[in-house]
Structure 1
Amino acid sequence: MKNLLLTFALIFTTLVSFSQDSQKTITVTIDNVNNDKGTVKMALNTADTFMKGKPIMSAESAIKDGKVTITFENVEPGEYAIIAYHDVNENNKMDFSDNGMPLESYGMSNNSMSFGPPQYDEAKFKVEDKNLELNIRF
């Protein structure tokens, strides 16, 4: 009976450790923020949530000397895209001019800056077997 309980405990511990090993971290640095006013906000998205709804994860950071670093932890393997913006006035939204042009700096993973709204296919990346470090430019 003791051997049976010990076996189940060992199997459970092994399964838990394997499931935790599959989760990774994504550390994102932006080092060209225009000024230290406000905060930088980031959102980790899938194709289903990118520019459409609530992100998988979100975070924000104060700015120090034009730089921020944010880490998303416990990210499951898969395909994602990150979008970030500088919320200068801290109103928790991206501000636009009357003609639709952004008034606050923004960027996305892969640093694609095409005209028009950000596109998931240009920003996507894969989380697989190792932690990631990304740099986003505004």
Structure 2
Amino acid sequence: MKFLVTLLVAAALFISTSITAQNKTITATVVNVTSDSGKVGFALYNKTTFQKIPLQAQNAEIIDGKSTVIFKDVPAGEYAIVCYHDKNNNDKMDFATNGMPLEDYGASNNDMTLGPPNFEKAKFVVADKNVSLDIKF
């Protein structure tokens, strides 16, 4: 009998831990795309992967100047999103010969100081709730 009670308690603890430790979703929307041509590319990073290889990446169509993606199964932690308007659908951000971007871009927290996005300024936290972000180019 003691064994059965111990087994039931252990199972209940496992189930309650599994329920509270579920991964979350991040919904990211660019709200001010200048045209509906092309697509918006989104990349999700943590501090280690920032501006290198994204943890998740998605492209999304543009409808009425907005583009939205949902990153699923995101564990708790600190993240940043960088996105760009791929106007010509070539799956890369285009730059002028002087290094200036030819396509609009943005990052979470909308800090658009001169230069490329910075993780510390773009980071946000995923904890116990799903996250929804509006990003501006």
Taking structure 2 as the reference length, the TM-score comes to: 0.88
Going from structure 1 to structure 2, the CA distance change for 1:35 and 1:42 (only over 3 Å counts) comes to: same
* Counterpart position of 2:15: 13
Going from structure 1 to structure 2, the CA distance change for 1:89 and 1:59 (only over 3 Å counts) comes to: same
Deviation, structure 1 residue 57: 1.1
Please list, as runs of the form range in 1=range in 2, the aligned pairs for 1:58-137 lying within 5 A after superposition.
58-137=57-136
Distance 1:14 1:120 in 2: 34
* Counterpart position of 2:40: 40
For residues 77-135 of structure 1, give each alpha carbon's deviation from its aligned partner in whole angstroms, at most 9, with x where no partner exists. 11111000011111111100000000111000010111111111111111122111111
Distance 1:14 1:116 in 2: 45
Report the residue type matching 1:28 in the other structure: A
Question: 1:29 aligned to 2:39?
Answer: no
Distance 1:130 1:16 in 2: 15
Deviation, structure 1 residue 12: 4.2
The answer for unaligned runs of 5 or more in structure 1 is none
> Percent identity of the aligned residues?
49
* RMSD between superposed Cα atoms in Å: 1.9
Deviation, structure 1 residue 13: 3.3
Deviation, structure 1 residue 6: 6.4
SS at match of 1:80: strand
Distance 1:11 1:137 in 2: 43
Taking structure 1 as the reference length, the TM-score comes to: 0.87
* Count of matched residue positions in the alignment of Structure 1 and Structure 2: 135
Report the residue type matching 1:38 in the other structure: G
Distance 1:5 1:121 in 2: 46
